[in-house]
Structure 1
Amino acid sequence: MAVITTYLPIVVGIALLIRLLMVGRRPKNYPPGPPTLPILGNLHLMPSKDVHLQFEKWAREYGPIYSLILGTKVLIVLSGDQAVKDLLDKKSNIYSHRQEMYIGQTICSGDLHMLMMGYNPKWRMCRKLIHALLNISSAKSYVPYQMLENKRMLYDMITQPDDFLYNIRRYSNALTTTMVYGWRTPTYNDEKIQQFFNGFEEFAEMNRTGIATLVDFFPILRYLPDFLLPARKEAKEYYKKTLALYKGHWLKAKEDTLKGTITHCFCEDLVSVQKKEGFSDDLAAFIAGVLLEAGSDTTSSTLYGFVQAMILYPEVQRKAQEEVDRVVGSDRLPTMDDEPNLQYIRSVIKETIRWMPTTIMGAVPHAVTQDDYYNGYLIPANAGVVNNAWAINNDPVRAPEPRKFKPERYLDDKLSLADSAANPDPTKRDSFTFGAGRRICPGIHVAERSLFLGVSRMIWGFNMTPKIGPDGKPIMPDQERLTQGFVCMPEPYVGTIRPRDEKRKKIIEEEWFAAERECLNPVTKQWRTGMNWVPKIKA
């Protein structure tokens, strides 16, 4: 008995050490992946920037499905179109969950952020609500708002051409705030738009690297006090600021709805749903806030990528201008009615989304709720599952010479973005940028219309060329230099945007002046009272 008592601590210590050293190891029946180290797994191999390039490299090495062991967590990376279709689409009932994100969801968002929310009744209620108000029928009703803000963007390109990124951002943000809250941001310097973009960048940076990710990979770290875990303290402060911002917007919209003075928008319907379902103002604020995030940053990032492509590939711009001139002419702006006849323009949009995906790693990983087997490999319950959009979009089998901007890839593709995503043949899907399964972007219909108006009208009205440097040589953007985070876009670059001729310049000016005069209050620059849902604005 004395011998057992003497050696028991040693035996327990050895057992605990063995168990600890097993952390980070890849079981043999998991999908293949890079070699691991005890405890760390593959954490030491994760790059601090341009993660998409490393994930693409591993995809070429280990195949369309591989695994990464990140501390105590498992990440399954889907880098083939068939794998995404088979798992995220066909088995969406078990592949629509999220791994726990302690900093990003629990602390930063009070477990209210739909993007990172688990697959639970609360998420399904939010998703059903958003889908009902952003489906294809509702998306068509937002076109008048898109028309107005698009005309303002074109006018801004004439008056402040060097600020084309800000012009694009104001367009997407003003459109989104109108659809969500019923008010628009008249200028890029508007305090509300600055608060949003600054906050979103802070959130992305906070959750991208460092302590925030380590706490997810090694949950024991969350028991540290705040002074040893500064990321948690920062996240708490971020949550307070974000909740105050989103809740302020929501409560104002709710008040205007109850008074009957709101311009018709998402929040107007959200008020009636809240009364029926009984959820809190905090949750309502985040439901609307998530729509603001999704609609503002992704559309503007895609349009910024489009401008870069036109500068780098002038032959594409020329072909697009030839098509829009043939179909539309020079006497009016393109409208949504022209879309079926502008197949090359539609192809430019699809190629932009493929070539410069905004959600470069499929945004936030899915998670599987139970053990599953695929191609002989075990995908363990609670594993994260990544839609590796960059690698799939740049698969040379799917898109030969993938880093070249070639809209011709889509000349025979007449499907909408949503219909393409639902195509039973994944090899025929246009891109994987909007996600997959039950987590696919619910605003895909609205985004497609915003992109069509933005791309077709900029092609119709402007020449986009390189800026000439002091040495007389053109300054060419580097298409491979992308920002980091959940949503990416080209790093800031310079270019020259000028009207194609005086006639088109005059039309753009007249269109904006007429829309402003007819639709907006001359003092507040908000929609006139009574111009709800289907404003009287010329297409």
Structure 2
Amino acid sequence: MIVLSSDQAVKDLLDRRSGIYSSRPDMYLSHNIEYGETWRMLRGIVHNSLNIKASRAYVPYQDLENKAMLLGFLEQPARFFDHLRRYTNSISTQVIFGFRTLDIDDPKLEQLIHGFEKWSELAGSQTAALLDVFPIFRYLPDAILPTKRYARKLHEKELDLYAGHYLTAKRKLKEGNSKPCVCADIVRAQDEFKFSDGLAGYLSGSLLEAGSDTSASTLIGFIQALLIFPEVPKLAQAEIDRVCGDRMPDLNDLPDLPYIRGCIKESMRWMPTAILGIPHATTRDDEYLGYHIPKGAGVVLNVCRWAHDNQTSAEAANNRDASKRDQFVFGAGRRLCQGMHIADRNLFLAISRLLWAFDFERPIDPSTGPFDAVINPRSELKAEAIRVEWAKMTQLLDDDLQWKTVPEGLVWRDYEPDEAKASF
């Protein structure tokens, strides 16, 4: 296993030699797709759906869910964890499948979160390491290694969830009842390339996993940071008030809110969601700085080490050249997160509007355990603005609070040139 702890090594190997470093290790229980024709086909489908231009079509979904989240913070501030998780999951289900997640207690969302937790435990278990390092043990019967049976059950439940979502979206598309979503592109690609519903389900499901968990974790870390560093929200709110006044921030304000963009970057650096990323693997032997790297070697991005190198992170944070990468939270090389443009907007809308609308303080007598926060609207004027904006959004929803239609050019048809001026 090779661990990359410098930005230069990551760029030299994973970026510049991406043809060698884009596979995945042979992780028996995880069933990762190795670098090859199938992976390149799937990556092309997702890139066409979620590249920086195509992803702008989904801004109406992000705007609506953000305003629903703000209303949740206003009415039930103690449940801010739940509001953030529902916010990122509902954007993901809309972008990928075309439907909203209405409540944190939705059974399918609970199943998804439960799956995250169980797979994390399984992937870090001693049995998983044993089966990866000594493949001969993979042939042992389930009676001796019951973890194998448990992993199969998790896969079956996961496939049932993902394929169910996908097949529903596929049926609605065929019936002409679907909303704009990534699954529409997957269905068209499936007709062309003839891959299975199972593979299509896992492709859409992997996007759902990534979109639901990472952005929510970043936002939870952001709120924790606000409580630890109370001077930061004061500076951020001063910038927002100067630029936006009493109106709610939108994506057109992105170029004029550099401190907010800095808060987003710092949230990802200070508490990265995947401290070691997802391992890459080499497809052939290589040499780097006098070291021999054998074919099939696992390659890990030490995101946490790089993020907390004071000199490196400080230089990156103050680099105004948008072409210079300043963090590796979204990965590197050809395995770079395809949903990062959606994630960037999720974070900007959430962070800018939460700071515009609310004050965040520590509880007077905090107890040991999960951190808590006292969240209050900054003014009644802002609280009423949230209610008014959500009332406008509900006019676009049916009795089940799903979209009636997606109006052409909803909200920010003309924001693209302004947004292009600024980089996260």
- Class of the TM-score when normalised by the shorter of the 2 chains: over 0.9
Counterpart residue identity of residue 377, structure 1: Y
Q: For 1:418-469, what per-residue CA distance to the aligned partner results, in whole angstroms no more than 9, with x for missing partners?
A: x5xxx3xxxxx31111110001101111110110000000010011111122
Indicate conservation of the 8 Å contact 2:276/2:304, yes or no: yes
Structure 1 residues 409 and 495: CA distance shift in structure 2, 3 A: farther
Q: Partner residue of 2:406?
A: 531
Give the structure 2 partner of residue 83 of structure 1: 9
Residues 12-27 of structure 1 aligned to structure 2 (within 5 Å): none
User: Partners in 1 of 2:330 and 2:187 — Cα distance?
Assistant: 28
Q: Which has the larger radius of gyration?
A: 1
- Report if aligned partners of 2:313, 2:326 keep a CA contact under 8 Å in 1: no
Does 2:168 correspond to 1:252?
A: yes
Which residue of structure 1 lines up, in the alignment, with residue 226 of structure 2?
310
Aligned residues: 414
Change (3 A) 1:86 1:533: farther
> Which residue type is aligned with residue 15 of structure 2?
D
Shift of 1:519: 1.3
User: CA 1:131 to 1:492, structure 2 compared with 1: closer, same or farther past 3 Å?
Assistant: farther
Q: Could you tell me whether the CA contact under 8 Å between 1:161 and 1:497 is conserved in 2?
A: yes
SS at match of 2:105: coil
State the match for 1:136 in structure 2: 52
C-alpha displacement at 1:133, in angstroms? 0.4
Deviation at 1:414, TM superposition (A): 6.2
Alignment counterpart, residue 18 of structure 2, candidates 92, 112, 135: 92
Identical positions, percent? 45
Structure 2: unaligned runs, 5 residues or longer: 416-424
Residues 171-250 of structure 1: pairs in structure 2 closer than 5 A? 171-250=87-166
- Tell me the distance in 2 between the aligned counterparts of 1:136 and 1:434: 14
Q: Does residue 66 of structure 2 align to residue 150 of structure 1?
A: yes
Matched position secondary structure for 1:136: coil
Structure 2 CA distance for aligned equivalents of residues 370 and 329 of structure 1: 57
Displacement, 1:193? 1.1
How far is 1:304 from its partner?
Answer: 0.6
Aligned with 2:396 (options 503, 514, 519) = 519
What is the alpha-carbon distance in structure 2 between the residues aligned to residue 382 and residue 225 of structure 1?
Answer: 27
- Tell me which of the two structures has the higher relative contact order, counting C-alpha pairs closer than 8 angstroms and 6 or more residues apart: 2
Change (3 A) 1:430 1:533: farther
| AA aligned opposite 2:171 | E
1:259-289 CA distance string (max 9 Å, x none): 0001111111211111011000000001100
Counterpart in the other structure of 2:244: 328
C-alpha contact 1:299 1:450 (8 A) present in aligned 2? yes
Instruction: Give 1:360's aligned amino acid.
Output: I
What TM-score, normalized to structure 2?
0.94
- The 8 Å contact of residues 519 and 537 in structure 1, kept in 2 or not, is answered as no
Counterpart of 1:507 in structure 2 is 385
* Structure 2 residue 303 is the aligned partner of structure 1 residue 389: yes
The residue aligned with 1:438 is 334
TM-score in terms of structure 1 length:
0.75
1:464 maps to which of 338, 346, 360: 360
Alignment of 1:30-179 (within 5 A): 75-105=1-31, 116-179=32-95
Shift of the 173–440 alpha-carbon distance from structure 1 to 2, 3 Å rule, reads same
Q: Which residue of 2 aligns with 1:56?
A: none
Aligned-residue offset at 1:413: 3.1
Alignment partner, residue 63 of structure 1: none
The whole-number CA distance in structure 2 between the counterparts of 1:270 and 1:532 is 23
3-state DSSP of counterpart to 2:30: helix
Give the RMSD, CA atoms, in angstroms: 1.7
Equivalent in the alignment of 2:320: 413
Report if the CA contact (8 A) 1:253-1:262 is conserved: yes
Aligned pair in 2 of structure 1 residues 533, 272: CA closer, same or farther (>3 Å)?
Answer: farther
Structure 1: any 5+ residue segments left out of the alignment? 1-74, 106-115, 401-407, 424-428, 478-490
